[in-house]
């Protein structure tokens, strides 16, 4: 209490001295000796508190702002009421710590870099739910002693293979190359109380390109460059690795799995092999076209192998919508649920759903390739209390510029993992677990902001009355 009274006593003396023109210059000894004058002249550099990996660094230096000797230019030369700037300064000082903390953690909703990191983390190089080998032959159609759901799925896959160019032609492919362009955007962010939509979609969308190489058996490599950042991922047939600017190079947990981007109309054979054990669960009209629905679920053993630490993958389901008219895949829906148990806290769940629409099928060397499409991603976070639920919507549109098969000169040396590959593997839920630690820090900052808000009103009112 004494400290609080001392602060406002010094503030009152400073205001009284400022009323005298002879003492309004910074060279005045009385002003320089004031204990509060340094606070008005000193301004912290907000960049000095920004740390790496969500940490805060101590302030190294401070910059001094010049004292204003005339009217505030922000009000067009009109005089302002004496002391009106003090309340604004106090508000800035009281609210600076939470905002600086939020910015340093890199999860400000208005931050373009955090949106790009989320886009690349989720849509950059996702993997298929289960292991698929290009050497495994497709089963022959058989309806004897088989459930109607399984036999129907086999029939749909046979039609899909025939519509895509035939199994014989696809078996002759040893490697493949594809290059395309992408546009990504975080279009909507929803909380329990409000919905924030991106109204400047065309301006805030991130454009980029990708290159994909594939080779039998089970080798692939992809590079995706968007907004000045690059994500690389690959598989040499034995392990899957990934490189991002924020995590570096690391191996992925779980079995070797295909790249999901290749399943989006670029690799019919792997797509058919993915749905071998699927079941037909019904029909649905997609964009005015009747489609069969095949459902594939990852087995518990695969889910356990992909889980790590506090992050546990509960389920991963893949739905394929095959046109009844053309036999081609027109929509692929990928959904997985992750449970993250924080230390001493409630469990938090993350549900990620990716809907990919495939369009513009054209033959390339006799194989039907989807030359354009779009994906809609919904990242839903729930658990704890209802007020903490959030939902993020992201979108991606892509076009295929070049496709080639059996490229001469492509060898296994093109799929060697990077030399700086970390020995420890990281699961695809690692970033979600890191985000949980960041969310906890943000919650603490929000609690601090709530306490400050109560003081802000009383202090501002006290200052105005005193002046």
15 vs 219: which has the higher pLDDT: 219
The pLDDT > 70 percentage for the chain reads 64
Provide the number of structural domains found in the chain: 1
Question: What whole-number distance in Å separates Cα of residue 361 and Cα of residue 373?
Answer: 10
The answer to which of 94-98, 147-151, 312-316 has the lowest mean pLDDT is 94-98
Tokens of 424: 């420890």
Q: How confident is the model at residue 95 (pLDDT cuts 50, 70, 90)?
A: very low
| Residue 367 within a domain | yes
The answer to which of 139-143, 169-173, 237-241, 283-287 has the lowest mean pLDDT is 139-143
| Residue 138 within a domain | yes
**What does DSSP say about strands 229-236 and 219-226: parallel, antiparallel, or unpaired?**
antiparallel
Q: How confident is the model at residue 27 (pLDDT cuts 50, 70, 90)?
A: very low
| Residue 422 within a domain | no
Q: How confident is the model at residue 192 (pLDDT cuts 50, 70, 90)?
A: confident
Find, among 261, 256, 216, the residue nearest to 235 by Cα.
Answer: 256
Q: How confident is the model at residue 81 (pLDDT cuts 50, 70, 90)?
A: very low
Question: What whole-number distance in Å separates Cα of residue 325 and Cα of residue 269?
Answer: 20
Helices 84-104 and 430-466, interaxial angle, to 10°?
170
Q: How confident is the model at residue 143 (pLDDT cuts 50, 70, 90)?
A: low
Q: What is the mean pLDDT of residues 332-357?
A: 90
Cis preceding linkage at 65, omega within 30 = no
Q: How many CB atoms within 10 Å of residue 169? A: 16
What is the domain range of residue 368? 112-415
Q: What is the mean pLDDT of residues 19-31?
A: 43
SS3 307: coil
CA distances, 205 to each of 182, 208, 281, 380, 450 (Å): 10, 10, 36, 21, 34
| Residue 180 within a domain | yes
Tokens of 44: 């912290």
Q: What is the mean pLDDT of residues 44-65?
A: 40
3-state helix, strand, coil in the chain (%, to 5): 35, 35, 30
Q: How confident is the model at residue 135 (pLDDT cuts 50, 70, 90)?
A: confident
Mean confidence (pLDDT) of the chain? 75
Run of H or E including 376: strand 367-383
**What does DSSP say about strands 175-191 and 195-197: parallel, antiparallel, or unpaired?**
antiparallel
The pLDDT > 90 percentage for the chain reads 44
| Residue 377 within a domain | yes
Per-residue confidence (pLDDT) for residue 43, from 0 to 100: 42
Question: What whole-number distance in Å separates Cα of residue 270 and Cα of residue 266?
Answer: 9
Q: Where are the beta strands (DSSP E) in 384-450?
A: 390-405, 425-426
Q: What is the mean pLDDT of residues 278-284?
A: 95
Per-residue confidence (pLDDT) for residue 363, from 0 to 100: 97
Tokens of 404: 């080639």
Q: How confident is the model at residue 130 (pLDDT cuts 50, 70, 90)?
A: very high
Phi-psi region of 371 (alpha: psi -120 to 50; beta: other; left: phi over 0): alpha
Asked if the model's pLDDT at residue 58 lies above 70, the reply is no
| Residue 254 within a domain | yes
| Residue 232 within a domain | yes
Q: What is the DSSP letter of 265?
A: T
Per-residue confidence (pLDDT) for residue 117, from 0 to 100: 85
Q: What is the mean pLDDT of residues 385-398?
A: 88
Helix and strand numbers, DSSP H then E, in the chain: 12, 17
Find, among 302, 318, 315, 400, the residue nearest to 356 by Cα.
Answer: 318
| Residue 17 within a domain | no
**pTM exceeding 0.85:** no
SS3 5: helix
Question: Quick one: CA torsion of 154, 156, 157, 160, rounded to 10 degrees?
Answer: 160
């Amino acid at each position: 209490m004494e400290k609080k009274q001392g602060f406002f006593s010094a503030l009152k003396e400073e205001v009284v001295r400022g009323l005298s023109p002879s003492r309004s210059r910074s060279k005045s000894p009385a002003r320089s000796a004031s204990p509060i004058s340094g606070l008005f002249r000193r301004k912290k550099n907000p960049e000095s508190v920004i740390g790496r990996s969500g940490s805060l660094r101590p302030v190294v230096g401070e910059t001094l702002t010049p004292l204003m000797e005339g009217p505030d230019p922000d009000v067009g030369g009109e005089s302002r009421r004496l002391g009106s700037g003090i309340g604004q300064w106090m508000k800035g000082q009281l609210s600076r710590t939470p905002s600086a903390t939020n910015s340093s953690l890199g999860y400000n909703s208005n931050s373009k870099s955090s949106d790009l990191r989320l886009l690349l983390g989720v849509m950059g190089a996702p993997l298929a739910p289960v292991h698929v080998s290009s050497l495994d032959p497709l089963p022959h159609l058989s309806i004897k002693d088989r459930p109607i759901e399984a036999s129907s799925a086999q029939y749909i896959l046979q039609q899909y293979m025939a519509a895509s160019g035939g199994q014989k032609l696809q078996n002759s492919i040893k490697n493949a190359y594809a290059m395309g362009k992408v546009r990504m955007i975080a279009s909507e962010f929803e909380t329990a109380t409000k919905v924030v939509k991106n109204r400047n979609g065309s301006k805030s969308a991130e454009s980029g390109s990708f290159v994909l190489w594939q080779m039998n058996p089970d080798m692939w490599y992809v590079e995706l460059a968007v907004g000045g950042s690059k994500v690389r991922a690959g598989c040499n047939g034995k392990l899957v690795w990934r490189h991002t600017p924020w995590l570096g190079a690391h191996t992925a947990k779980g079995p070797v799995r295909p790249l999901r981007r290749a399943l989006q109309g670029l690799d019919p054979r792997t797509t058919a092999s993915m749905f071998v054990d699927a079941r037909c669960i019904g029909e649905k009209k997609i964009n005015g076209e009747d489609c069969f629905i095949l459902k594939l679920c990852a087995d518990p053993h695969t889910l356990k192998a992909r889980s790590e630490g506090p992050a546990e993958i509960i389920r991963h389901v893949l739905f394929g919508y095959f046109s009844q008219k053309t036999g081609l895949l027109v929509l692929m829906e990928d959904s997985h649920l992750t449970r993250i148990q924080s230390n001493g806290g409630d469990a938090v769940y993350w549900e990620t759903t990716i809907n990919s629409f495939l369009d513009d099928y054209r033959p390339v060397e006799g194989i039907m390739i989807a030359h354009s499409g779009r994906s809609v991603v919904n990242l839903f976070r729930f658990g704890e209390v209802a007020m903490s639920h959030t939902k993020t919507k992201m979108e991606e549109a892509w076009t295929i510029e070049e496709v080639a098969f059996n490229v001469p000169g492509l060898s296994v040396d093109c799929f060697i993992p990077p030399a700086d590959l970390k020995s420890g593997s990281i699961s695809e839920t690692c970033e979600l677990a890191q985000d949980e630690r960041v969310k906890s820090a943000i919650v603490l900052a929000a609690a601090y902001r709530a306490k400050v808000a109560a003081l802000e009103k009383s202090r501002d009112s006290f200052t105005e009355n005193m002046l």
